[in-house]
Structure 1
Amino acid sequence: MEEITTSYQAVGYAESRIGGRSENQDTCAFTDTPVGLLVLVCDGMGGGPGGKTASMIAAAVITERMKKVKRVEDAEVKLTAAIAAANAAIMEATGQESPLAAKFPDKKFLPEGMKIRPELKGMGSTVAALLLTKDYALIAHVGDSRVYQLRGRKVVHRTTDHSRVMLRVLRGDISEEEARTSSDSNIITQALGHSGANMHSDVTKVPYLKGDRFVLCSDGVWGAFPQPELVAMLTSNRNVGGTVDNTVISVDDAGRQAGGTHDNLTLALIETTTNSTLPVKMNKTTKLMVIALAVIAAASIILNVILWCARPKSETTEPVNPTVENVKPVVPERPETQTNPKAEPQTEVGQSEKDDATSELNARVDDLTRQLDQLIEEVEGLKKVTDKDAKTSMINSIKAQMKGILPMVDDNPAVKELLNKAFNELDAKIMFIPSRCDGQINAISKMLRTANDQLKSKN
């Protein structure tokens, strides 16, 4: 698993695995551009080395071109052009004339230093792209690699596959779940290097909120589980790195249990840490609620006006002359005696703010203690794992979750020191010595329990 490092307002992780194949033909790439964070997932196809070559060319060409974009206003046009250039480059790599040759006869799209290999004719690649700018997110794709936008536990946006089965879904012939399990699910209708002049990319501009998650994945990930199960995996863990690690492990395990011939799997997950400047539109339900409330308010005002105008004259109040008999002396109220004259009176607003802050602190501590309880269970679970690769994967997952917790305990040096020590102890070689592993795990668990107890005592 690799952290997606960026100077923009987001955190992310990515991982790519070979699955049950002899070669991983997927390519994942990410980089900061002058206008935003660019993330790509490309799924190659073609015999021999062709698939991997095609996906690498696609990622390289799109990345190189997007690094030259200077204005966010040009981003949509430039991303569309970059994907078209990747299509042309893959065709050039096999000695074919690209669809852009007539328009740009003197221009070459193949990356510098890459040789033409006619024997790789037929290779191609999908692409799923995300350009996360401060203004909005730009999503593009060709083929059946997907981009999801998740908010909470809901899918607010998802790309539509360029595939034979998706055309049947759109016609209403089959359901999405039937399409996922169909024997034709891997037949795509658009691909870089395959579709020639007919290749087109779908590009969409979407707003986002703080905490939204953008997921880019190859069909080896989204094809492993029904969408509700996959979305649950991608949203149940608050830690981004832990989510990526747990998801690819689940996909890989499911593939092995199904025979071990499963596809390459690549997943990139990016979580936003601020809102886009492009506002999020109200959904249909919210709009209807606002309209209904406005109608009710208007009806109430009109009814009150009608009732006021129709009131009997007898209900009007006669003015009272301020004669001496009608005027009552005003006796000033005696102020209440304060038991502590030095104490500042507590206003209701101040007390409310104090209560809110206390509740927020308690909720944060409760959440941290729950995460630590889960970590302790996972650490204890290492005792049952004998396979070295499986243990390494579990340790990496635990470390990713701990890495997400550490910034949350900056205000508690003692707890942070214990977590750092436990984090470092997970790297010890003793973890892979069967006769001594359990003692090391017990020591790490003890550190985590002590940290948890200290947090609970302060709550």
Structure 2
Amino acid sequence: MTAMPVKIETSQFEFLVSPLSSSTRPAPREPATTSVQVDLAATSHPGKVRSRNEDHFMVAKVSRHMEILMDNLPAGQLPQELAEDGYSMVVADGMGGMNAGDVASMLAISTGVRLADKSVKWGFKINEKEARDLLNRMSMYFQEIDRRLTLKSEGDRRLFGMGTTLTLAYSVGAHLFLIHVGDSRAYLFRGGEIAQLTRDHTVAQALADAGQIKPEDVRTHARRNTLTNYLGGHRGKIQADVRWLRLEHGDRVVLCSDGLSDMIDDAAIAEVLRRGECSQRTTEILLEKALEAGGKDNVTIIVAGYSIPTDSLSHALEGHKEVAKAQDTRLIDTDEFHPSRDSGRN
């Protein structure tokens, strides 16, 4: 993976029309976050060509818990226990000479965890304001990660020029939040169909967006792995894509580095997901296919399968239309979303 400063603008703050307000139907009743079951699995492999794995990943369960130990209130006035659960999934694909790539991807994830640990809010209750606040905090974390990577790179010549992609998915109850920089990907698999939730920040994709090459030519273009946007080198003025959408029972979310998506196309990934295997077996099959196709890069895969109580979502938005909406977003002006931030575009 290489980085290249270009004048083509590819990365924008995207905000999907709110799942809470984008329909004339009554808002669906929210399931308890602890009632949502998630089948999680992840794997990472150096591939068949590279000697070192510069990918890193993390899968975490985030919980808030309160248990009443003693009280003298009348019976039934207090719940005996309060709990909320969320799940965080991250893929980082590093780049740079020597060992700089794996240092960058490792630092990006570890720095993000430390920043989240210092936050007084972790985003368990979702409404319009809380969702925007959550995405705003996540965006600020990305800016701080970028700033720290830049300073680390400039302070150590062995790490000069290091950078990394970073794709993060955070689910709480039936809500999924994404923030993304680079060309690692997030997919949504629903009803037998797959949709890419992220946009690759590469020269090839920028050319396709500008109409200079055909979309189908992106996979084979010479600059398909040349990043136009990544963490490191921007001194905190990074710009990321953010998304918010609603999950449904049976949905599967896949995060991966380009070591998977470059080796097998979306149709092949969907074919594996249609088998209905558990997440662990699904990651194994996807890895096998990437290696069989050449394994030319490091391969990292996270798969999450969601079981959401259907009675809580009986009045949810029409199911399969959400996949289409994943490709059809309404842009909110950057200044509206971050009135004081510098976009940091080239």
TM over 0.5: yes
Q: Confirm or deny that 1:263 pairs with 2:263.
A: no
Matched residue, 1:94:
153
Matched residue, 1:16:
44
Q: Deviations over 1:346-372 (max 9, x none)?
A: xxxxxxxxxxxxxxxxxxxxxxxxxxx
Residues 252 and 131 (structure 1), Cα distance of their counterparts in 2 relative to 1, 3 Å cut: same
Q: Confirm or deny that 1:230 pairs with 2:262.
A: no
Matched residue, 2:14:
none
Residues 12 and 92 (structure 1), Cα distance of their counterparts in 2 relative to 1, 3 Å cut: same
Residues 241 and 150 (structure 1), Cα distance of their counterparts in 2 relative to 1, 3 Å cut: same
Residues 233 and 71 (structure 1), Cα distance of their counterparts in 2 relative to 1, 3 Å cut: closer
Distance 1:64 1:271 in 2: 27
Q: SS in structure 1 opposite 2:122? A: coil
* Paired residues for 1:284-303 under 5 Å: none
Q: Deviations over 1:328-349 (max 9, x none)?
A: xxxxxxxxxxxxxxxxxxxxxx
Q: Deviations over 1:54-111 (max 9, x none)?
A: 000111111222343333423212211111111112112124xxxxxxxxxxxxxxxx
Distance 1:188 1:231 in 2: 25
Q: SS in structure 2 opposite 1:81? A: helix
Q: Which amino acid aligns with 1:89?
A: R
Matched residue, 1:146:
185
Q: Which amino acid aligns with 1:51?
A: G
Kindly indicate whether the alpha-carbon contact (under 8 Å) linking 1:217 and 1:267 is maintained by their aligned counterparts in 2.
Answer: yes
Q: Which amino acid aligns with 1:264?
A: N
* Paired residues for 1:109-124 under 5 Å: 117-124=156-163
Matched residue, 2:172:
133
Distance 2:113 2:236 in 1: 22
Matched residue, 2:343:
none
Distance 1:197 1:88 in 2: 4
Question: If the length of structure 2 is used for normalisation, what is the TM-score?
Answer: 0.68
Kindly indicate whether the alpha-carbon contact (under 8 Å) linking 2:146 and 2:236 is maintained by their aligned counterparts in 1.
Answer: no
Distance 2:97 2:222 in 1: 20
Residues 282 and 39 (structure 1), Cα distance of their counterparts in 2 relative to 1, 3 Å cut: closer
Distance 2:236 2:55 in 1: 24
Q: SS in structure 2 opposite 1:149? A: strand
Matched residue, 1:242:
281
Matched residue, 1:354:
none
Distance 1:255 1:212 in 2: 29
Aligned length: 255
Q: Deviations over 1:136-181 (max 9, x none)?
A: 1001110101111110221245211111111122233333331112
Query: Which structure has greater strand proportion?
Result: 2
* Paired residues for 1:50-199 under 5 Å: 50-67=100-117, 68=119, 69-72=121-124, 73=130, 74-95=133-154, 117-199=156-238
Q: SS in structure 2 opposite 1:94? A: helix
Residues 210 and 284 (structure 1), Cα distance of their counterparts in 2 relative to 1, 3 Å cut: closer
Aligned mate of 2:254, from 192, 215, 225: 215
Kindly indicate whether the alpha-carbon contact (under 8 Å) linking 1:44 and 1:52 is maintained by their aligned counterparts in 2.
Answer: yes
Question: If the length of structure 1 is used for normalisation, what is the TM-score?
Answer: 0.52
Distance 1:280 1:196 in 2: 41
> Any stretches of 5+ residues in structure 2 without a counterpart?
1-32, 64-84, 125-129, 323-346
Distance 1:130 1:281 in 2: 23
Q: SS in structure 1 opposite 2:230? A: coil
Residues 232 and 139 (structure 1), Cα distance of their counterparts in 2 relative to 1, 3 Å cut: same
Q: Which amino acid aligns with 1:280?
A: L
Q: Which amino acid aligns with 2:298?
A: N
Q: Deviations over 1:390-413 (max 9, x none)?
A: xxxxxxxxxxxxxxxxxxxxxxxx
Distance 1:195 1:153 in 2: 40
Matched residue, 1:42:
92
Aligned mate of 2:317, from 277, 280, 305: 280
Aligned mate of 1:29, from 39, 47, 58: 58
Distance 2:196 2:246 in 1: 10
Q: SS in structure 2 opposite 1:216? A: strand
Kindly indicate whether the alpha-carbon contact (under 8 Å) linking 1:135 and 1:207 is maintained by their aligned counterparts in 2.
Answer: yes
- The alpha-carbon deviation at position 282 of structure 1 amounts to 6.1
Distance 1:21 1:274 in 2: 40
Kindly indicate whether the alpha-carbon contact (under 8 Å) linking 2:185 and 2:196 is maintained by their aligned counterparts in 1.
Answer: no
Residues 153 and 212 (structure 1), Cα distance of their counterparts in 2 relative to 1, 3 Å cut: same
Q: Name which one, 1 or 2, has greater alpha-carbon Rg.
A: 1
Q: Which amino acid aligns with 1:163?
A: T
Query: Which structure has greater helix proportion?
Result: 1
Kindly indicate whether the alpha-carbon contact (under 8 Å) linking 1:209 and 1:280 is maintained by their aligned counterparts in 2.
Answer: no
Kindly indicate whether the alpha-carbon contact (under 8 Å) linking 1:76 and 1:203 is maintained by their aligned counterparts in 2.
Answer: yes
- The higher relative CO (CA closer than 8 Å, separation ≥ 6) is in 2
